[in-house]
Structure 1
Protein backbone atom coordinates (compact mmCIF):
# COMPACT_ATOMS: atom_id res chain seq x y z
CA UNK A 1 0.00 0.00 0.00
CA UNK A 2 2.96 2.32 0.41
CA UNK A 3 5.47 3.50 -2.12
CA UNK A 4 9.19 3.52 -1.40
CA UNK A 5 10.51 3.33 2.13
CA UNK A 6 8.61 4.31 5.27
CA UNK A 7 11.25 6.06 7.36
CA UNK A 8 8.68 8.65 8.44
CA UNK A 9 6.51 5.96 10.04
CA UNK A 10 3.28 7.78 10.82
CA UNK A 11 3.45 11.28 9.36
CA UNK A 12 1.13 13.90 10.83
CA UNK A 13 0.61 17.38 9.40
CA UNK A 14 0.78 20.06 12.11
CA UNK A 15 -0.15 23.73 11.80
CA UNK A 16 -1.24 24.82 15.28
CA UNK A 17 -4.97 24.51 14.56
CA UNK A 18 -7.46 22.59 16.72
CA UNK A 19 -8.01 20.19 13.81
CA UNK A 20 -4.29 19.44 13.73
CA UNK A 21 -4.28 18.90 17.50
CA UNK A 22 -6.90 16.18 17.10
CA UNK A 23 -4.80 14.61 14.34
CA UNK A 24 -1.66 14.64 16.51
CA UNK A 25 -3.49 13.05 19.44
CA UNK A 26 -4.90 10.25 17.30
CA UNK A 27 -1.62 9.72 15.45
CA UNK A 28 0.19 9.38 18.77
CA UNK A 29 -2.15 6.64 19.95
CA UNK A 30 -1.87 4.92 16.56
CA UNK A 31 1.95 5.09 16.68
CA UNK A 32 1.90 3.45 20.12
CA UNK A 33 -0.40 0.71 18.85
CA UNK A 34 1.79 0.08 15.80
CA UNK A 35 5.07 0.57 17.68
CA UNK A 36 5.92 3.00 14.92
CA UNK A 37 7.93 6.23 14.89
CA UNK A 38 5.94 9.44 14.60
CA UNK A 39 6.97 12.38 12.43
CA UNK A 40 5.53 15.85 13.02
CA UNK A 41 5.79 17.87 9.81
CA UNK A 42 5.06 21.59 9.65
CA UNK A 43 5.15 23.30 6.25
CA UNK A 44 5.52 27.08 6.24
CA UNK A 45 4.29 28.74 3.06
CA UNK A 46 6.97 31.02 1.49
CA UNK A 47 6.41 34.74 1.79
CA UNK A 48 5.86 36.60 -1.50
CA UNK A 49 7.40 40.07 -1.65
CA UNK A 50 5.96 42.90 -3.72
CA UNK A 51 9.10 43.76 -5.66
CA UNK A 52 10.27 42.26 -7.89
CA UNK A 53 6.72 41.10 -8.55
CA UNK A 54 6.09 37.56 -7.32
CA UNK A 55 9.55 37.01 -5.85
CA UNK A 56 9.80 34.66 -2.86
CA UNK A 57 12.06 34.90 0.14
CA UNK A 58 14.88 32.37 -0.33
CA UNK A 59 14.98 31.61 3.38
CA UNK A 60 12.37 31.56 6.09
CA UNK A 61 12.07 34.97 7.78
CA UNK A 62 12.88 35.04 11.48
CA UNK A 63 9.32 35.82 12.56
CA UNK A 64 8.00 32.81 10.59
CA UNK A 65 10.69 30.56 12.02
CA UNK A 66 9.85 31.58 15.58
CA UNK A 67 6.16 30.91 15.00
CA UNK A 68 6.90 27.56 13.32
CA UNK A 69 9.08 26.42 16.20
CA UNK A 70 6.24 27.22 18.59
CA UNK A 71 3.89 25.08 16.49
CA UNK A 72 6.35 22.16 16.62
CA UNK A 73 6.82 22.53 20.39
CA UNK A 74 3.07 22.62 20.92
CA UNK A 75 2.76 19.45 18.83
CA UNK A 76 5.39 17.71 20.98
CA UNK A 77 3.42 18.62 24.09
CA UNK A 78 0.25 17.12 22.60
CA UNK A 79 2.17 13.91 21.86
CA UNK A 80 3.34 13.70 25.47
CA UNK A 81 -0.14 14.39 26.82
CA UNK A 82 -1.80 11.92 24.44
CA UNK A 83 0.66 9.14 25.28
CA UNK A 84 -0.29 9.43 28.94
CA UNK A 85 1.08 6.55 30.99
CA UNK A 86 2.10 4.65 27.84
CA UNK A 87 5.61 4.76 26.51
CA UNK A 88 5.58 7.63 24.01
CA UNK A 89 6.56 6.84 20.43
CA UNK A 90 9.86 7.83 18.89
CA UNK A 91 9.18 11.39 17.69
CA UNK A 92 10.85 13.22 14.80
CA UNK A 93 10.11 16.74 13.64
CA UNK A 94 10.49 18.35 10.24
CA UNK A 95 10.12 22.02 9.39
CA UNK A 96 9.79 22.78 5.68
CA UNK A 97 9.70 26.15 3.94
CA UNK A 98 7.27 25.21 1.18
CA UNK A 99 3.58 24.87 0.44
CA UNK A 100 1.86 22.18 2.50
CA UNK A 101 0.06 20.17 -0.20
CA UNK A 102 2.97 19.28 -2.53
CA UNK A 103 5.24 18.80 0.49
CA UNK A 104 2.92 16.27 2.13
CA UNK A 105 2.18 14.46 -1.13
CA UNK A 106 5.91 14.01 -1.74
CA UNK A 107 6.52 13.01 1.89
CA UNK A 108 3.73 10.41 1.68
CA UNK A 109 6.03 8.33 -0.54
CA UNK A 110 8.12 7.64 2.58
CA UNK A 111 5.34 7.21 5.13
CA UNK A 112 3.27 4.26 6.25
CA UNK A 113 0.32 6.54 7.02
CA UNK A 114 -0.38 10.27 6.73
CA UNK A 115 -2.66 11.80 9.36
CA UNK A 116 -4.45 15.13 8.85
CA UNK A 117 -7.17 17.05 10.61
CA UNK A 118 -10.49 17.75 8.94
CA UNK A 119 -11.69 21.33 8.68
CA UNK A 120 -15.44 21.06 8.79
CA UNK A 121 -18.07 18.38 9.06
CA UNK A 122 -21.78 18.11 8.49
CA UNK A 123 -24.45 16.57 6.32
CA UNK A 124 -23.57 15.22 2.89
CA UNK A 125 -23.46 18.07 0.39
CA UNK A 126 -22.59 20.63 3.07
CA UNK A 127 -19.45 19.12 4.54
CA UNK A 128 -16.16 20.47 3.31
CA UNK A 129 -12.77 18.96 3.98
CA UNK A 130 -9.82 21.27 4.31
CA UNK A 131 -7.81 21.83 1.14
CA UNK A 132 -4.87 19.82 2.48
CA UNK A 133 -6.88 16.78 3.54
CA UNK A 134 -8.92 16.80 0.32
CA UNK A 135 -5.78 16.95 -1.82
CA UNK A 136 -4.13 14.10 0.09
CA UNK A 137 -7.18 11.87 -0.32
CA UNK A 138 -6.76 12.19 -4.07
CA UNK A 139 -2.98 12.23 -4.47
CA UNK A 140 -1.16 10.68 -1.48
CA UNK A 141 1.03 7.64 -2.07
CA UNK A 142 0.05 5.91 1.18
CA UNK A 143 -3.13 5.56 3.29
CA UNK A 144 -4.51 8.84 4.65
CA UNK A 145 -6.32 9.20 7.98
CA UNK A 146 -8.72 12.12 8.33
CA UNK A 147 -9.44 13.02 11.95
CA UNK A 148 -12.40 14.90 13.39
CA UNK A 149 -13.20 15.90 16.93
CA UNK A 150 -11.57 16.83 20.19
CA UNK A 151 -7.82 16.23 20.49
CA UNK A 152 -8.18 14.85 24.01
CA UNK A 153 -11.17 12.62 23.28
CA UNK A 154 -10.10 9.05 22.53
CA UNK A 155 -12.59 6.86 20.62
CA UNK A 156 -14.44 3.98 22.30
CA UNK A 157 -11.76 1.30 22.56
CA UNK A 158 -14.37 -1.47 22.40
CA UNK A 159 -16.14 -0.23 19.29
CA UNK A 160 -15.53 -2.16 16.04
CA UNK A 161 -13.60 -1.19 12.93
CA UNK A 162 -15.87 -0.58 9.92
CA UNK A 163 -14.77 -1.34 6.35
CA UNK A 164 -16.56 -0.71 3.06
CA UNK A 165 -16.35 -3.65 0.64
CA UNK A 166 -17.13 -3.60 -3.09
CA UNK A 167 -14.76 -6.18 -4.60
CA UNK A 168 -12.45 -3.64 -6.28
CA UNK A 169 -8.64 -3.71 -5.84
CA UNK A 170 -8.78 -0.54 -3.70
CA UNK A 171 -11.48 -2.10 -1.56
CA UNK A 172 -9.34 -5.22 -1.14
CA UNK A 173 -6.43 -3.07 0.05
CA UNK A 174 -8.77 -1.36 2.51
CA UNK A 175 -10.01 -4.73 3.75
CA UNK A 176 -6.44 -5.87 4.40
CA UNK A 177 -5.74 -2.76 6.47
CA UNK A 178 -9.07 -2.99 8.29
CA UNK A 179 -8.35 -6.57 9.42
CA UNK A 180 -4.91 -5.46 10.58
CA UNK A 181 -6.38 -2.55 12.55
CA UNK A 182 -9.12 -4.70 14.11
CA UNK A 183 -6.59 -7.37 15.11
CA UNK A 184 -4.25 -4.77 16.58
CA UNK A 185 -7.07 -3.27 18.64
CA UNK A 186 -8.64 -6.59 19.61
CA UNK A 187 -12.11 -5.59 18.35
CA UNK A 188 -14.71 -6.83 15.87
CA UNK A 189 -14.69 -5.92 12.20
CA UNK A 190 -17.91 -4.85 10.50
CA UNK A 191 -17.74 -5.40 6.73
CA UNK A 192 -20.42 -3.48 4.86
CA UNK A 193 -21.38 -4.02 1.23
CA UNK A 194 -24.07 -1.95 -0.47
CA UNK A 195 -25.36 -3.97 -3.40
CA UNK A 196 -27.17 -0.97 -4.87
CA UNK A 197 -25.78 2.53 -5.31
CA UNK A 198 -29.05 4.06 -6.47
CA UNK A 199 -31.11 3.63 -3.31
CA UNK A 200 -34.02 1.31 -2.57
CA UNK A 201 -36.44 2.35 -5.30
CA UNK A 202 -37.48 -0.58 -7.50
CA UNK A 203 -36.20 -0.71 -11.06
CA UNK A 204 -38.24 -2.40 -13.79
CA UNK A 205 -36.84 -5.82 -14.66
CA UNK A 206 -34.31 -5.80 -11.82
CA UNK A 207 -33.74 -9.20 -10.19
CA UNK A 208 -33.24 -8.10 -6.58
CA UNK A 209 -32.63 -11.62 -5.31
CA UNK A 210 -29.88 -12.11 -7.87
CA UNK A 211 -28.30 -8.77 -6.93
CA UNK A 212 -28.37 -9.70 -3.25
CA UNK A 213 -26.83 -13.07 -3.99
CA UNK A 214 -24.02 -11.43 -5.94
CA UNK A 215 -23.47 -9.01 -3.06
CA UNK A 216 -23.05 -11.94 -0.69
CA UNK A 217 -20.55 -13.46 -3.12
CA UNK A 218 -18.54 -10.21 -3.16
CA UNK A 219 -18.39 -10.15 0.63
CA UNK A 220 -17.44 -13.81 0.89
CA UNK A 221 -14.72 -13.61 -1.78
CA UNK A 222 -13.18 -10.42 -0.35
CA UNK A 223 -13.21 -11.50 3.28
CA UNK A 224 -12.20 -15.17 2.95
CA UNK A 225 -8.38 -14.78 2.69
CA UNK A 226 -8.24 -12.28 5.54
CA UNK A 227 -10.46 -14.37 7.82
CA UNK A 228 -7.89 -17.13 7.39
CA UNK A 229 -4.98 -14.75 8.02
CA UNK A 230 -6.61 -13.12 11.06
CA UNK A 231 -8.51 -15.88 12.89
CA UNK A 232 -8.61 -13.67 16.00
CA UNK A 233 -10.86 -11.09 14.28
CA UNK A 234 -14.60 -11.65 14.63
CA UNK A 235 -16.30 -10.41 11.45
CA UNK A 236 -19.86 -9.11 11.28
CA UNK A 237 -21.10 -8.91 7.69
CA UNK A 238 -23.63 -6.27 6.67
CA UNK A 239 -25.37 -6.38 3.29
CA UNK A 240 -27.65 -3.47 2.42
CA UNK A 241 -29.69 -2.40 -0.61
CA UNK A 242 -29.11 1.31 -0.51
CA UNK A 243 -26.52 3.97 -1.22
CA UNK A 244 -23.19 3.05 0.43
CA UNK A 245 -22.44 6.56 1.68
CA UNK A 246 -25.62 6.74 3.75
CA UNK A 247 -25.02 3.41 5.47
CA UNK A 248 -21.29 3.87 6.04
CA UNK A 249 -21.92 7.20 7.76
CA UNK A 250 -24.75 5.68 9.78
CA UNK A 251 -22.69 2.67 10.85
CA UNK A 252 -19.68 4.87 11.62
CA UNK A 253 -21.60 6.20 14.64
CA UNK A 254 -21.04 2.81 16.26
CA UNK A 255 -17.41 2.32 15.13
CA UNK A 256 -14.05 3.62 16.35
CA UNK A 257 -12.51 3.69 12.87
CA UNK A 258 -13.68 3.52 9.24
CA UNK A 259 -11.46 2.13 6.47
CA UNK A 260 -12.29 2.69 2.80
CA UNK A 261 -10.70 2.29 -0.60
CA UNK A 262 -10.08 5.39 -2.66
CA UNK A 263 -11.86 4.17 -5.79
CA UNK A 264 -14.43 1.49 -6.48
CA UNK A 265 -15.57 -0.30 -9.61
CA UNK A 266 -18.40 2.09 -10.36
CA UNK A 267 -21.61 1.07 -12.06
CA UNK A 268 -24.78 -0.16 -10.42
CA UNK A 269 -23.29 -3.14 -8.58
CA UNK A 270 -20.24 -1.37 -7.19
CA UNK A 271 -19.63 1.23 -4.51
CA UNK A 272 -18.40 4.45 -6.07
CA UNK A 273 -15.64 4.76 -3.53
CA UNK A 274 -14.03 7.75 -5.20
CA UNK A 275 -17.00 9.88 -4.12
CA UNK A 276 -18.02 7.63 -1.21
CA UNK A 277 -14.65 7.85 0.53
CA UNK A 278 -14.63 11.66 0.29
CA UNK A 279 -18.21 11.96 1.56
CA UNK A 280 -17.60 9.62 4.50
CA UNK A 281 -14.33 11.35 5.39
CA UNK A 282 -16.24 14.64 5.40
CA UNK A 283 -19.22 13.52 7.47
CA UNK A 284 -18.14 10.70 9.81
CA UNK A 285 -17.38 11.77 13.36
CA UNK A 286 -14.75 9.06 13.87
CA UNK A 287 -11.34 8.73 12.14
CA UNK A 288 -11.51 7.60 8.51
CA UNK A 289 -8.58 5.94 6.74
CA UNK A 290 -8.70 6.02 2.95
CA UNK A 291 -6.45 3.50 1.20
CA UNK A 292 -5.27 4.01 -2.35
CA UNK A 293 -4.86 0.99 -4.60
Structure 2
Protein backbone atom coordinates (compact mmCIF):
# COMPACT_ATOMS: atom_id res chain seq x y z
CA UNK A 1 0.00 0.00 0.00
CA UNK A 2 1.60 3.27 -1.11
CA UNK A 3 1.85 6.32 1.11
CA UNK A 4 -0.78 8.19 -0.89
CA UNK A 5 -3.38 5.39 -0.88
CA UNK A 6 -3.42 4.45 2.79
CA UNK A 7 -6.98 3.73 3.80
CA UNK A 8 -7.42 6.47 6.40
CA UNK A 9 -5.81 9.24 4.31
CA UNK A 10 -5.73 12.26 6.62
CA UNK A 11 -6.74 10.85 10.01
CA UNK A 12 -8.13 13.39 12.49
CA UNK A 13 -8.53 12.60 16.21
CA UNK A 14 -11.83 14.10 17.37
CA UNK A 15 -13.13 14.50 20.93
CA UNK A 16 -15.59 17.40 20.80
CA UNK A 17 -13.18 20.04 22.15
CA UNK A 18 -12.30 23.36 20.51
CA UNK A 19 -8.83 21.98 19.77
CA UNK A 20 -10.49 19.02 18.06
CA UNK A 21 -12.59 21.39 15.92
CA UNK A 22 -9.42 23.24 14.90
CA UNK A 23 -7.78 19.93 14.00
CA UNK A 24 -10.78 18.98 11.82
CA UNK A 25 -10.68 22.33 10.01
CA UNK A 26 -6.93 22.10 9.36
CA UNK A 27 -7.10 18.43 8.39
CA UNK A 28 -9.92 19.16 5.95
CA UNK A 29 -7.81 21.75 4.13
CA UNK A 30 -4.91 19.30 4.02
CA UNK A 31 -7.12 16.53 2.59
CA UNK A 32 -8.53 18.88 -0.08
CA UNK A 33 -5.06 20.13 -0.99
CA UNK A 34 -3.74 16.57 -1.39
CA UNK A 35 -6.92 15.03 -2.82
CA UNK A 36 -6.98 12.46 -0.03
CA UNK A 37 -9.88 11.01 1.97
CA UNK A 38 -10.30 12.26 5.53
CA UNK A 39 -11.19 10.01 8.45
CA UNK A 40 -12.72 11.40 11.64
CA UNK A 41 -11.87 8.97 14.43
CA UNK A 42 -13.11 9.05 18.01
CA UNK A 43 -11.60 6.63 20.51
CA UNK A 44 -13.68 5.74 23.57
CA UNK A 45 -11.81 4.64 26.67
CA UNK A 46 -13.32 1.36 27.97
CA UNK A 47 -15.18 1.59 31.28
CA UNK A 48 -13.68 -0.31 34.22
CA UNK A 49 -16.11 -1.74 36.76
CA UNK A 50 -15.21 -2.50 40.36
CA UNK A 51 -16.43 -6.09 40.47
CA UNK A 52 -14.91 -8.41 39.49
CA UNK A 53 -11.87 -6.29 40.19
CA UNK A 54 -10.47 -4.54 37.14
CA UNK A 55 -13.06 -5.97 34.70
CA UNK A 56 -13.85 -3.98 31.56
CA UNK A 57 -17.23 -3.66 29.90
CA UNK A 58 -17.02 -5.93 26.87
CA UNK A 59 -19.17 -3.57 24.81
CA UNK A 60 -19.52 0.19 24.75
CA UNK A 61 -22.22 1.36 27.20
CA UNK A 62 -25.15 3.15 25.59
CA UNK A 63 -24.28 6.51 27.14
CA UNK A 64 -20.76 6.35 25.71
CA UNK A 65 -22.15 5.37 22.32
CA UNK A 66 -24.47 8.40 22.36
CA UNK A 67 -21.60 10.70 23.37
CA UNK A 68 -19.43 9.28 20.59
CA UNK A 69 -22.10 9.89 17.98
CA UNK A 70 -22.46 13.48 19.19
CA UNK A 71 -18.69 14.00 18.84
CA UNK A 72 -18.69 12.58 15.31
CA UNK A 73 -21.68 14.71 14.27
CA UNK A 74 -20.01 17.85 15.60
CA UNK A 75 -16.82 16.99 13.70
CA UNK A 76 -18.80 16.51 10.48
CA UNK A 77 -20.45 19.91 10.93
CA UNK A 78 -17.04 21.52 11.50
CA UNK A 79 -15.71 19.85 8.36
CA UNK A 80 -18.62 21.08 6.24
CA UNK A 81 -18.41 24.59 7.67
CA UNK A 82 -14.77 24.86 6.64
CA UNK A 83 -15.17 23.90 2.98
CA UNK A 84 -15.54 27.53 1.81
CA UNK A 85 -16.99 26.42 -1.51
CA UNK A 86 -14.48 23.66 -2.12
CA UNK A 87 -15.60 20.14 -2.92
CA UNK A 88 -15.72 18.03 0.23
CA UNK A 89 -13.12 15.28 0.43
CA UNK A 90 -14.28 11.69 0.75
CA UNK A 91 -15.21 11.56 4.43
CA UNK A 92 -15.21 8.53 6.70
CA UNK A 93 -15.98 8.22 10.38
CA UNK A 94 -14.91 5.60 12.87
CA UNK A 95 -15.52 5.04 16.58
CA UNK A 96 -13.22 2.62 18.40
CA UNK A 97 -13.72 1.24 21.89
CA UNK A 98 -10.17 0.99 23.12
CA UNK A 99 -7.39 2.82 24.92
CA UNK A 100 -7.11 6.15 23.13
CA UNK A 101 -3.36 6.34 22.46
CA UNK A 102 -2.90 2.64 21.50
CA UNK A 103 -5.91 2.83 19.17
CA UNK A 104 -4.68 5.95 17.40
CA UNK A 105 -1.10 4.71 17.16
CA UNK A 106 -2.35 1.48 15.59
CA UNK A 107 -4.55 3.43 13.16
CA UNK A 108 -1.60 5.64 12.22
CA UNK A 109 -0.06 2.63 10.44
CA UNK A 110 -2.74 3.05 7.78
CA UNK A 111 -2.81 6.85 7.66
CA UNK A 112 -0.84 9.25 5.52
CA UNK A 113 -0.97 11.87 8.28
CA UNK A 114 -2.61 12.10 11.69
CA UNK A 115 -3.95 15.42 12.95
CA UNK A 116 -4.57 16.14 16.62
CA UNK A 117 -5.52 19.20 18.61
CA UNK A 118 -3.36 20.36 21.46
CA UNK A 119 -5.13 20.02 24.77
CA UNK A 120 -5.57 23.56 26.01
CA UNK A 121 -4.33 25.18 29.21
CA UNK A 122 -2.71 23.83 32.34
CA UNK A 123 -3.40 25.00 35.89
CA UNK A 124 -1.23 28.09 35.45
CA UNK A 125 -2.75 29.09 32.12
CA UNK A 126 0.22 27.72 30.17
CA UNK A 127 -0.37 25.76 27.00
CA UNK A 128 0.18 22.07 27.58
CA UNK A 129 0.17 19.15 25.20
CA UNK A 130 -2.29 16.49 26.22
CA UNK A 131 -1.24 12.92 26.86
CA UNK A 132 -2.85 11.80 23.61
CA UNK A 133 -0.96 14.33 21.49
CA UNK A 134 2.30 13.61 23.28
CA UNK A 135 1.81 9.87 22.79
CA UNK A 136 1.24 10.36 19.07
CA UNK A 137 4.34 12.50 18.66
CA UNK A 138 6.43 9.75 20.22
CA UNK A 139 4.83 6.62 18.77
CA UNK A 140 2.75 7.33 15.64
CA UNK A 141 3.83 5.65 12.41
CA UNK A 142 3.15 8.67 10.20
CA UNK A 143 3.60 12.45 10.38
CA UNK A 144 1.67 14.10 13.23
CA UNK A 145 0.18 17.58 12.88
CA UNK A 146 -0.43 19.38 16.20
CA UNK A 147 -3.05 22.11 15.96
CA UNK A 148 -3.64 24.85 18.54
CA UNK A 149 -7.25 25.96 18.60
CA UNK A 150 -6.99 29.69 19.34
CA UNK A 151 -4.73 30.85 16.52
CA UNK A 152 -5.37 28.50 13.61
CA UNK A 153 -8.32 30.40 12.13
CA UNK A 154 -6.21 33.55 11.79
CA UNK A 155 -3.27 31.93 9.98
CA UNK A 156 -1.65 33.98 7.22
CA UNK A 157 -1.93 31.68 4.20
CA UNK A 158 0.76 33.73 2.43
CA UNK A 159 3.29 33.12 5.19
CA UNK A 160 6.13 30.66 4.52
CA UNK A 161 6.67 27.16 5.85
CA UNK A 162 9.40 26.93 8.51
CA UNK A 163 11.64 23.85 8.52
CA UNK A 164 14.01 22.70 11.26
CA UNK A 165 17.12 21.03 9.76
CA UNK A 166 19.59 19.07 11.89
CA UNK A 167 21.19 16.61 9.47
CA UNK A 168 19.53 13.45 10.86
CA UNK A 169 17.40 10.90 8.95
CA UNK A 170 14.29 12.28 10.67
CA UNK A 171 15.29 15.73 9.52
CA UNK A 172 15.67 14.48 5.95
CA UNK A 173 12.10 13.15 6.01
CA UNK A 174 10.92 16.48 7.44
CA UNK A 175 12.73 18.33 4.66
CA UNK A 176 10.96 16.30 1.99
CA UNK A 177 7.54 17.00 3.49
CA UNK A 178 8.28 20.68 4.14
CA UNK A 179 9.19 21.30 0.49
CA UNK A 180 6.03 19.50 -0.62
CA UNK A 181 3.87 21.51 1.80
CA UNK A 182 5.40 24.80 0.64
CA UNK A 183 4.97 23.89 -3.03
CA UNK A 184 1.32 22.90 -2.62
CA UNK A 185 0.60 26.08 -0.64
CA UNK A 186 2.55 28.18 -3.18
CA UNK A 187 4.65 29.84 -0.49
CA UNK A 188 8.33 30.06 0.36
CA UNK A 189 10.34 27.86 2.70
CA UNK A 190 12.56 29.07 5.53
CA UNK A 191 15.11 26.41 6.49
CA UNK A 192 16.58 26.86 9.96
CA UNK A 193 19.68 25.12 11.29
CA UNK A 194 21.28 25.61 14.71
CA UNK A 195 24.94 24.67 14.55
CA UNK A 196 25.39 24.47 18.33
CA UNK A 197 22.80 24.17 21.07
CA UNK A 198 25.12 25.13 23.96
CA UNK A 199 26.38 28.57 23.01
CA UNK A 200 29.43 29.78 21.05
CA UNK A 201 32.03 28.94 23.72
CA UNK A 202 31.03 25.46 24.97
CA UNK A 203 34.40 23.74 24.74
CA UNK A 204 37.84 25.11 25.58
CA UNK A 205 39.81 25.55 22.38
CA UNK A 206 36.85 25.06 20.04
CA UNK A 207 36.84 27.43 17.08
CA UNK A 208 33.21 28.50 16.73
CA UNK A 209 33.89 29.70 13.18
CA UNK A 210 34.67 26.13 12.13
CA UNK A 211 31.41 24.96 13.68
CA UNK A 212 29.49 27.71 11.94
CA UNK A 213 31.06 26.80 8.60
CA UNK A 214 30.12 23.15 9.19
CA UNK A 215 26.58 24.27 9.93
CA UNK A 216 26.38 26.15 6.64
CA UNK A 217 27.66 23.07 4.81
CA UNK A 218 25.08 20.81 6.48
CA UNK A 219 22.30 23.21 5.55
CA UNK A 220 23.50 23.49 1.95
CA UNK A 221 23.88 19.71 1.55
CA UNK A 222 20.46 18.93 3.00
CA UNK A 223 18.67 21.45 0.80
CA UNK A 224 20.50 21.04 -2.51
CA UNK A 225 18.58 18.10 -4.00
CA UNK A 226 15.22 19.34 -2.80
CA UNK A 227 15.71 22.80 -4.26
CA UNK A 228 16.28 21.13 -7.63
CA UNK A 229 13.16 19.00 -7.23
CA UNK A 230 11.00 21.98 -6.19
CA UNK A 231 12.27 24.93 -8.26
CA UNK A 232 9.03 26.80 -7.56
CA UNK A 233 9.81 27.05 -3.84
CA UNK A 234 11.89 30.04 -2.81
CA UNK A 235 14.22 29.02 0.02
CA UNK A 236 15.65 31.26 2.70
CA UNK A 237 18.41 29.81 4.89
CA UNK A 238 18.63 30.68 8.57
CA UNK A 239 21.67 29.78 10.65
CA UNK A 240 21.79 30.29 14.42
CA UNK A 241 23.68 29.23 17.50
CA UNK A 242 22.17 28.18 20.85
CA UNK A 243 18.80 26.62 21.74
CA UNK A 244 17.10 25.25 18.58
CA UNK A 245 13.62 25.39 20.13
CA UNK A 246 14.03 29.07 20.98
CA UNK A 247 14.86 30.03 17.39
CA UNK A 248 12.19 27.79 15.89
CA UNK A 249 9.56 29.32 18.18
CA UNK A 250 10.72 32.85 17.43
CA UNK A 251 10.73 32.28 13.68
CA UNK A 252 7.40 30.43 13.82
CA UNK A 253 5.71 33.76 14.50
CA UNK A 254 6.35 34.59 10.84
CA UNK A 255 5.27 31.20 9.46
CA UNK A 256 1.99 29.37 8.76
CA UNK A 257 3.41 25.91 9.50
CA UNK A 258 6.46 24.49 11.27
CA UNK A 259 7.92 21.15 10.13
CA UNK A 260 10.41 19.28 12.32
CA UNK A 261 11.78 15.76 12.61
CA UNK A 262 10.76 13.67 15.59
CA UNK A 263 14.14 12.42 16.77
CA UNK A 264 17.81 12.13 15.97
CA UNK A 265 21.06 13.89 16.68
CA UNK A 266 22.01 16.97 14.80
CA UNK A 267 25.27 18.23 13.37
CA UNK A 268 26.48 19.11 16.86
CA UNK A 269 26.74 16.21 19.37
CA UNK A 270 24.01 16.25 21.98
CA UNK A 271 21.35 18.12 20.02
CA UNK A 272 18.32 15.88 20.39
CA UNK A 273 15.62 16.92 17.96
CA UNK A 274 13.13 14.81 19.90
CA UNK A 275 13.13 17.27 22.79
CA UNK A 276 13.17 20.18 20.34
CA UNK A 277 10.14 18.91 18.43
CA UNK A 278 8.19 18.38 21.66
CA UNK A 279 8.99 21.89 22.87
CA UNK A 280 8.00 23.46 19.55
CA UNK A 281 4.79 21.41 19.28
CA UNK A 282 3.82 22.53 22.78
CA UNK A 283 4.54 26.22 22.50
CA UNK A 284 4.23 27.30 18.85
CA UNK A 285 1.12 29.29 18.00
CA UNK A 286 0.90 27.84 14.48
CA UNK A 287 0.39 24.22 13.40
CA UNK A 288 3.44 22.01 13.91
CA UNK A 289 4.08 18.96 11.73
CA UNK A 290 6.31 16.36 13.40
CA UNK A 291 7.80 13.85 10.97
CA UNK A 292 9.14 10.48 12.03
TM bin, normalised by shorter chain, reads over 0.9
Deviation at 1:270, TM superposition (A): 6.5
SS of residue in 1 equivalent to 2:48: coil
When residues 34 and 4 of structure 1 are mapped into structure 2, their CA distance, relative to the original with a 3 A threshold, is closer
Which runs of 5 or more residues in structure 2 are unaligned?
Answer: none
Deviation at 1:221, TM superposition (A): 0.5
Q: In 2, Cα distance between the equivalents of 1:73 and 1:192?
A: 40
Q: Deviations over 1:60-100 (max 9, x none)?
A: 11111111101100000000011121111111000111111
Counterparts of 1:55-74 in structure 2, within 5 Å, are 55-74=55-74
- Name the residue aligned to 1:224: 224
Q: In 2, Cα distance between the equivalents of 1:202 and 1:152?
A: 38
Deviation at 1:149, TM superposition (A): 2.4
Counterparts of 1:1-80 in structure 2, within 5 Å, are 6-80=6-80
Counterparts of 1:103-252 in structure 2, within 5 Å, are 103-120=103-120, 127-150=127-150, 153-201=153-201, 203-252=203-252
Q: In 1, Cα distance between the equivalents of 2:201 and 2:92?
A: 53
Q: In 2, Cα distance between the equivalents of 1:138 and 1:202?
A: 30
RMSD between superposed Cα atoms in Å: 1.9
Which runs of 5 or more residues in structure 1 are unaligned?
Answer: none
When residues 50 and 140 of structure 1 are mapped into structure 2, their CA distance, relative to the original with a 3 A threshold, is same
CA contact (8 A) 1:22 1:151 kept: no
Q: Deviations over 1:165-209 (max 9, x none)?
A: 011110000000000000000000000000111134564312111
Counterparts of 1:242-281 in structure 2, within 5 Å, are 242-266=242-266, 268-269=268-269, 271-281=271-281
CA contact (8 A) 1:108 1:142 kept: yes
After TM superposition, what 4+ stretches of structure 1 lie above 4 angstroms from structure 2?
2-5, 200-203
Output the TM-score relative to the length of structure 2: 0.94
Deviation at 1:150, TM superposition (A): 3.2
SS of residue in 2 equivalent to 1:153: helix
Output the TM-score relative to the length of structure 1: 0.93
- Name the residue aligned to 1:91: 91
Q: In 2, Cα distance between the equivalents of 1:134 and 1:270?
A: 22
Q: Deviations over 1:250-282 (max 9, x none)?
A: 000000000000112157356421100000000
CA contact (8 A) 2:10 2:38 kept: yes
Deviation at 1:15, TM superposition (A): 0.6
When residues 281 and 251 of structure 1 are mapped into structure 2, their CA distance, relative to the original with a 3 A threshold, is same
Single out whichever of 179-188 and 79-88 deviates more from structure 2.
79-88
When residues 52 and 114 of structure 1 are mapped into structure 2, their CA distance, relative to the original with a 3 A threshold, is same
SS of residue in 1 equivalent to 2:238: strand
Q: Deviations over 1:46-72 (max 9, x none)?
A: 111121111111111111111110110
Q: In 1, Cα distance between the equivalents of 2:288 and 2:47?
A: 33
CA contact (8 A) 1:193 1:219 kept: yes
